[in-house]
Structure 1
Amino acid sequence: IELPRSIVVHGFINVAGEKLSKSKGPVINPLKLIDLYGADAIRYFLLREISFGEDGNFSEDALIRRINSDLANDLGNLLQRTLTMVEKFFGARVPAPGGSDTGMDRILKSKAKGLFKSLSERMEKFNFREALKEIFDLINAANKYIEDAAPWKLARQDSGAEALSSVIYNLVEVLRIVAVSILPFMPQTSKDILTQIGMAGDIDKLTVDEINKWGLFKPGSRINKGSALFPRIEEK
């Protein structure tokens, strides 16, 4: 059997600048952390906060800040706001995109379409930190898209129906792409997002090439809006 050409290992995790030690301390019980914050949040923090292969620092305060900022505010709010608008404007069924793309539409689509290729390059180099950063760059772009497109204003305009449909469809499709992208890092969160947008189980039947295409989400699908992915945590 050929020996491995390279062995990939993570670095040390330090607390207050000191390596974890059962005999000398400090010691962190990972099972207790999982009970408090969930396995996906712990995975996200370690992979986003520490460059893989290098030593890094852990603190519960920093973990809570990441959960509140990235997972609750950015990802969680994007899902909740989008699904709330699907319910309010389209009776909980995702509309088909309508009309021509605006400049805002094209910018968001371009960013989403380029994500998988970029992630593949990052993953081959075990650069998980940058991979997650790129996923959250797309999430932040989608949140900005909501503010710029102002779908609540389009809903009040007689001529805004087609544009509103496109905005909502684009947001759901971005959520689909985000859910697939975070699967290696946060498997339960990925599953929860796919369930809420009405695609539970569908991804397993598709090829990689099919998953990577923009427009995979089927218009007319019913959403299943659930509870918040990551409720905000009161900082100590």
Structure 2
Amino acid sequence: MLTLYSFGPAANSLKPLLALYEKGLEFTPRFVDPKRFEHHEDWFKQINPRGQVPALDHDGHIITESTVICEYLEDAFPEAPALRPADPVAIAEMRVWTKWVDEYFCWCVSTIGWERMIGPSARQLSDAEFEDKVARIPVAEQRTKWRNARAGFPREVIDEEMRKIRLSIARLEARLAESPWLAGDDYTLADICNFAIANGMQFGFPEVVNAEATPHLLGWIDRINARPAAQAMFARSKSEMPAREPATV
């Protein structure tokens, strides 16, 4: 029995969601509402003490970290459609891309997201409300990030993160000019994990991702969005993903 706790089909939560749909696995989606800070509530911290999503419950075993969950699904369900190549060289290439998105691409996009979306929300809270929310965050680095977002990231930090975004987009565009998928001819976890971050950047970062500058990247985004699994995933909106009630945990 599989249960996935997530913020829905975006960013890191999208990775295991799309992998589950692509593999055709039956699972129960549990939407954790970030606007209500549900991931910092005691009931959720019983599931993941770090208070972070996504988290996969497989027969009582909790698996965390988005890319690790994706790899776990490959190991636990080898009979389902594969999202990992069979060839060791291709597997290594896939993992280069999943490691890169986790350690580089995701972080620069995330910082801009925190500046644009989390910061304004945090500033709407009173000092007392904000301190109450921050006190329930179990990870010290996340508490610091909340404080930085509320204060506003320094201009030099934003400029540096935008430089990294431009570099990341250029790398993706160059690779996708060579092959239809990031790890070669086959659609793999490399594509799913990078799509989770790149999808929608044509709207959020149109000066960087657009038809003139990044035609191959846009084509790749469109191909993934057109896949039946992706369409099925997005069709099940966040509002259709019931929150886990604390009393049932």
More helix by share: 2
TM-score (norm 2): 0.29
The structure with more radius of gyration: 1
TM-score (norm 1): 0.30
